[in-house]
């Protein structure tokens, strides 16, 4: 883990405090990594065919889309805010990227007729539209000072609603250009596809931004005390607005990738992704109160959740009990984090 | 009277250990019934820990507490109250959404068939409130009251409860002179009503005015307990508290010949009325006024937080825009409320210090760990922040050290003008004197400083020139010096002529 390497060198800092030598964040990250390893080993032992390169690869592919969204959501949660619009934006991006690039016939069946734009242009236009949803969120949160949970709940309905209108509540999968399939069909090795590559690249960029840039540092300052951040000359409104636009952009990228993979612009994909993204974020150890967390946590959370779902599937649990197990694990994990941090900081 | 009988509370060999620190170290002393027993010591001396053990917030590591001859141990504040120990905490415990009356009776309501009944108990509480502060209407929402008045509500609640011992942890920190006078009268009355008061304050003058006995603590240990009448002045008390004398008398300088840095012309807004003043390079200016006189509002206007009419001309240019603009042009603010406006409590000292000027820890736009650690260490040493590591969360530091972190933030911003709003509120004597000496060093180095304070001592100890504020108006300007008449200043600042 990158953030555990904080060496403390001088007499001042090596003086052993009650906390030992690693920060609270590294502590939680390591603890959740431990949980991930435990879950992984347990699943490997108990679930037949789990410990298999193909299962692993599938897990990676499945979770990478969620992780891309989770990166933006983590940044927003670190500032002490929420973004519940991401699932809707994924669907919007999927539908728009299809609609923009579908051949412009004058067919009777209007779901088969789009704008006929070149695919690259359709992608850009889709991302711009998604960023507009983020901008709407930002406007209400920053300028109108409305709680982010309310605003983004509205943003979720707005994005999903537009997607449903354009796809008539169904999907657009006729008359797509051949390039449309390219992104989703592109694989490196086995089933490792483009979304895994994009996820890894974006994760590394996000990690760098979080640890090494002023932009990343401001996330923590805003989350820890927004008033103090304002009085320290940080333009908190601007930064929060940028984050919502960024989060929608990441959701847009995910939507385009998913549409390409399924070769269809379906208005009901990514249902509940906004909550999954939030779950992996807090499951990894990021605090919903803000000022504490990391994108590393989101990745760890995503794999813990992924292993649980995969194992439950492979063991043939019915979906209802899967949900129950999931809810149970999330509550336990978050309680355990609280407990551990309290113990540590007495 | 039997000498053992009149001791209501006896603390014997009390110890409280935290990982790595012994916060209370073998403390023994007794508290006489119907006295005002003052507890003094620097921040981190162990007073708060001791109080928290009494109120049940902490469990002691060892030792004994005898209350009226019986062993005493509380596990939570309610248990403490049931045993007759009520506490007035530093942090306000009022609910803004409720009325004054509802707040006062919260948790002690009497009811008939589930309906709240106005019992004699409630009437007594309201009477007590009226006695302390007649201007508070019990039917008003607490959210509309000033901090000082909110505190008075808490005081009334503790005073009216049937406690035998009331612990007051810095009750006057945000009260005006008038309110303090009323509070003191109430405390003196309490003594007649068979109530013992344990009084904690950093304002030493209050100890002499109010206290019967005083206990001094230092570094977790008990230093001395004796009658206040036997203490020979502030200096002896300070000496016991920190083992050295502080507050060298400040010699104000003649700053008439200095170059001008800031000119304020006709600053007016909802709270401020046509305020004009000037600040010169290297000068320390003091604004003295009571709570509510417009000090914070003036500081906020200057820093670009609040809107105003009029001009601030700084280094020859008109100031516009918000705090980020102010910081970029070389102005930094130490805000009034340390906890909610100054520090980032859950972040480390290392992350707090560069917050105002993060460019200084980057190279080619990338944060460099070594620059950041160097900066943190440099300022920890420069300002003598007591911590074991740069990686400690700021919330774990004592009040004085937290305030030094806020100062470090401002110094790191390389400002030429520092605005200090109540810079030593809730800070112990030792840290106070350190902060004053930092202010002086800065002014020697050519920085200008504006101190806004409701503590006259503070203004007299640190400023070259003084402005008096009352009700949003600038009432007087004077040069600090031996000729200054503090009675006259207080007279003006309280609205006299």
Contact A228 B340 (CB under 8 A): yes
How many whole angstroms separate alpha carbon B118 and alpha carbon B105?
10
Domain boundaries, chain B: 7-242, 260-493
A78 close to B (CB below 8 A): no
Please list the ranges in chain B whose pLDDT falls under 50. Answer: 1-4, 245-246
CB pairs under 8 A between A and B: 114
Predicted pLDDT at B247: 54
Please classify residue B198 by burial: count the beta carbons closer than 10 Å to its beta carbon, then call 0-12 exposed, 13-18 middle and 19+ buried.
buried
Enter the tokens of residue B242.
Answer: 């920190």
B478 close to A (CB below 8 A): no
Question: Is B83 in contact with B74 (CB distance < 8 Å)?
Answer: yes
Q: Which residue has the tokens 């657009």?
A: A172
- Does residue A148 form part of some domain? yes
Question: Is pTM, for the whole model, over 0.90?
Answer: no
Q: Which residue has the tokens 């379906």?
A: A266
Contact B365 A214 (CB under 8 A): yes
Domains B7-242 and B260-493 in one fold: yes
Convert the pLDDT of each residue in A201-249 to its tens digit: 999 999 999 999 999 999 999 999 999 999 999 999 999 999 999 999 9
Query: Which residues in chain A have Cβ-Cβ distances shorter than 8 Å to B359?
Result: 214
User: Taking 50 as the threshold, does the pLDDT of residue A9 lie above it?
Assistant: no
- Does residue A41 form part of some domain? no
The angle at the Cα of A335, spanning A300 to A283, to the nearest 5 degrees, equals: 20
For B7-242, CATH number out of 3.30.450.20, 3.40.50.300, 3.90.180.10, 1.10.1530.10 equals 3.40.50.300
Contact B391 A6 (CB under 8 A): yes
Share above pLDDT 70 across residues of chain A, in percent, rounded to a whole number? 92
* Total number of domains constituting chain A: 1
B335 close to A (CB below 8 A): yes
What is the CATH topology of the domain spanning B260-493? Rossmann fold (3.40.50)
* Residue of B389, B393, B396 for testing the chain A interface, max A β-carbons within 10 Å: B389
Contact B345 A292 (CB under 8 A): no
Which residues have CB under 8 Å from B307's CB, separation 6+? B269, B301
- Does residue A326 form part of some domain? yes
> Among B20, B303, B344, whose Cβ lies nearest the Cβ of A228?
B344
B/e letters for B333-367, b = 16+ CB within 10 Å, e = fewer, are bbbbbbeebbbbbbbbbbbbbbbbbbeebbeeeeb
Average pLDDT over residues A149-163: 96
B377 close to A (CB below 8 A): yes
How many whole angstroms separate alpha carbon B121 and alpha carbon B118?
8
Q: How many angstroms away from the CA of B298 is the closest CA of chain A?
A: 15
Contact A234 B341 (CB under 8 A): no
- Does residue A143 form part of some domain? yes
* Residue of B331, B346, B352, B370 for testing the chain A interface, max A β-carbons within 10 Å: B346
pLDDT band at A3 (very low <50, low <70, confident <90, very high): very low
> Among A17, A213, A231, whose Cβ lies nearest the Cβ of B366?
A213
The parent domain of residue A109 ranges over 50-344
B360 close to A (CB below 8 A): no
How many whole angstroms separate alpha carbon B135 and alpha carbon A275?
51
How many whole angstroms separate alpha carbon B64 and alpha carbon B73?
9
Q: Which residue has the higher pLDDT, A345 or A123?
A: A123
Query: Which residues in chain B have Cβ-Cβ distances shorter than 8 Å to A18?
Result: 18-21
Contact B351 A214 (CB under 8 A): no
User: Taking 50 as the threshold, does the pLDDT of residue A61 lie above it?
Assistant: yes
Please classify residue B297 by burial: count the beta carbons closer than 10 Å to its beta carbon, then call 0-12 exposed, 13-18 middle and 19+ buried.
buried
CA-nearest residue to A232 within chain B is: B356
User: Taking 90 as the threshold, does the pLDDT of residue A41 lie above it?
Assistant: yes
User: Taking 50 as the threshold, does the pLDDT of residue A75 lie above it?
Assistant: yes
Of the candidates A239, A218, A251, A199, the one whose C-alpha atom is nearest the C-alpha of residue A72 is: A251
- Scanning B236-255 for CB atoms below 8 A from A yields none
The SS3 assignment for B110 reads strand
Predicted pLDDT at B154: 76
B329 close to A (CB below 8 A): no
Predicted pLDDT at A13: 43
Predicted pLDDT at B457: 78
- Does residue A297 form part of some domain? yes
CA-nearest residue to B330 within chain A is: A233
Predicted pLDDT at A323: 84
Which residues have CB under 8 Å from A187's CB, separation 6+? A193, A194
Predicted pLDDT at A10: 38
What are the strands, taking DSSP E only, across chain A?
A: 171-172, 265-266
B333 close to A (CB below 8 A): yes
Predicted pLDDT at A5: 36
């Amino acid at each position: 883990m990158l953030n555990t390497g904080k060496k403390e060198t001088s007499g001042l800092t090596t003086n052993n405090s009650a906390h030992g030598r690693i920060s609270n964040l590294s502590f939680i990250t390591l603890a959740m990594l431990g949980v991930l390893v435990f879950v992984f080993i347990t699943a490997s032992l108990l679930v037949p065919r789990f410990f298999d390169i193909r299962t692993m690869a599938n897990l990676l592919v499945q979770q990478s889309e969620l992780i891309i969204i989770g990166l933006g959501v983590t940044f927003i949660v670190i500032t002490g805010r929420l973004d519940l619009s991401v699932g809707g934006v994924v669907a919007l991006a999927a539908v728009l990227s299809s609609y923009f690039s579908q051949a412009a016939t004058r067919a009777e069946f209007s779901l088969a007729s789009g704008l006929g734009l070149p695919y690259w242009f359709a992608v850009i236009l889709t991302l711009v539209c998604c960023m507009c949803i983020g901008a709407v969120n930002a406007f209400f949160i920053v300028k109108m000072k409305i709680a982010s949970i309310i605003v983004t709940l509205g943003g979720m309905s707005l994005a999903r609603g537009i997607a449903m209108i354009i796809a008539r509540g169904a999907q657009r999968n006729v008359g797509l250009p051949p390039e449309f399939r390219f992104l989703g069909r592109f694989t490196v090795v086995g089933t490792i596809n483009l979304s895994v590559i994009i996820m890894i690249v974006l994760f590394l960029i996000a990690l760098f931004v979080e640890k090494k840039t002023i932009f990343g540092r401001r996330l923590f300052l805003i989350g820890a005390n927004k008033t103090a951040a304002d009085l320290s000359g940080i333009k908190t409104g601007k930064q929060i607005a940028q984050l919502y636009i960024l989060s929608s952009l990441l959701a847009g990228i995910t939507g385009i990738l998913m549409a390409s993979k399924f070769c269809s612009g379906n208005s009901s994909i990514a249902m509940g992704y906004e909550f999954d993204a939030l779950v992996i974020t807090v499951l990894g150890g990021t605090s919903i109160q803000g000022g504490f967390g990391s994108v590393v946590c989101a990745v760890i959370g995503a794999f813990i959740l992924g292993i649980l779902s995969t194992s439950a599937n492979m063991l043939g649990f019915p979906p209802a009990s899967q949900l129950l197990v999931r809810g149970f694990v999330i509550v336990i994990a978050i309680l355990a984090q609280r407990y551990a941090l309290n113990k540590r900081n007495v | 009277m039997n000498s053992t009988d009149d001791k209501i509370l006896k603390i014997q060999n009390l110890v409280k250990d935290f990982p790595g620190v012994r916060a209370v170290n073998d403390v023994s002393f007794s508290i006489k019934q119907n006295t005002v027993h003052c507890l003094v010591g620097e921040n981190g001396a162990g007073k708060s820990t001791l109080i928290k053990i009494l109120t049940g917030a902490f469990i002691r590591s060892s030792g004994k507490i005898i209350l009226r001859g019986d062993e005493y141990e509380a596990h939570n504040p309610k248990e403490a109250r049931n045993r007759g120990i009520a506490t007035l905490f530093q942090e306000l415990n009022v609910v803004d959404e409720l009325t004054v009356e509802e707040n006062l009776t919260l948790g002690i309501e009497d009811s008939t068939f589930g309906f709240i009944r106005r019992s004699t108990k409630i009437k007594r509480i309201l009477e007590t409130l009226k006695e302390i502060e007649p201007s508070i209407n019990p039917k008003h929402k607490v959210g509309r009251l000033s901090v000082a008045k909110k505190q008075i509500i808490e005081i009334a609640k503790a005073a009216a409860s049937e406690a035998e011992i009331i612990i007051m942890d810095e009750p006057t920190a945000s009260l005006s002179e008038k309110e303090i006078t009323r509070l003191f009268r109430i405390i003196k009355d309490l003594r007649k009503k068979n109530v013992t008061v344990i009084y904690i304050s950093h304002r030493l003058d209050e100890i002499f005015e109010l206290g019967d006995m005083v206990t001094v603590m230092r570094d977790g240990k008990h230093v001395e307990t004796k009658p206040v009448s036997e203490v020979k002045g502030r200096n002896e008390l300070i000496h016991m508290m920190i083992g050295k004398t502080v507050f060298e008398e400040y010699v104000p300088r003649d700053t008439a010949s200095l170059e001008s840095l800031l000119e304020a012309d006709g600053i007016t807004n909802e709270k401020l009325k046509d305020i004009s003043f000037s600040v010169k390079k290297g000068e320390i200016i003091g604004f003295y006024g009571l709570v509510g006189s417009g000090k914070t509002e003036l500081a906020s206007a200057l820093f670009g937080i609040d809107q105003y009419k009029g001009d601030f001309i700084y280094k020859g240019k008109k100031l516009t825009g918000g705090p980020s603009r102010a910081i970029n042009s070389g102005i930094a603010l130490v805000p009034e409320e340390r906890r909610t406006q100054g520090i980032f409590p859950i972040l480390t000292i290392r992350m707090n210090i560069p917050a105002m000027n993060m460019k200084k820890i980057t190279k080619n736009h990338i944060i460099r760990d070594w620059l950041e650690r160097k900066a943190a260490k440099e300022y920890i040493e420069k300002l003598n922040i007591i911590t074991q590591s740069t990686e400690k969360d700021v919330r774990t530091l004592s009040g004085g050290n937290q305030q030094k972190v806020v100062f470090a933030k401002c110094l790191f911003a390389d400002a030429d003008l520092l605005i200090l709003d109540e810079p030593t509120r809730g800070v112990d004597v030792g840290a106070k004197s350190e902060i004053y000496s930092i202010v002086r060093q800065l002014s020697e180095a050519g920085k200008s400083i504006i101190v806004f304070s409701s503590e006259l001592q503070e203004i007299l100890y640190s400023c070259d020139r003084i402005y008096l504020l009352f009700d949003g108006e600038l009432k007087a300007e004077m040069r600090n010096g031996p000729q200054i008449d503090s009675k006259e200043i207080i007279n003006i600042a309280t609205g006299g002529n």
